[in-house]
């Protein structure tokens, strides 16, 4: 049971490192689509 938090931390860091660029690209795509619509 004590190993769960230690194992979750690296996966969270990996998820954050992957999710941040994805979120930025998604936001950029949404902004571009909105600007194109205007």
Q: DSSP for 1-38, please give it.
A: -THHHHHHHHHHHHHHHHHHHHHHHHHHHHHHHHHHH-
**Looking at residue 5, what is its pLDDT?**
55
The pTM of this model reads 0.50
In a domain, 6, yes or no: no
pLDDT tens-place string over residues 5-34: 555 567 777 877 877 888 899 999 999 999
Number of domains in the chain: 1
In a domain, 5, yes or no: no
For residue 2, report the phi and psi dihedrals to the nearest 5 degrees: -70, -20
Cβ-Cβ contacts under 8 Å for 30 (sequence gap 6 or more): none
- 28 is in which domain, residue-wise? 13-37
């Amino acid at each position: 049971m004590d190993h769960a938090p230690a194992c979750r931390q690296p996966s969270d860091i990996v998820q954050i490192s992957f999710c941040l660029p994805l979120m930025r690209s998604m936001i950029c795509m949404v902004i571009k689509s909105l600007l194109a619509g205007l």
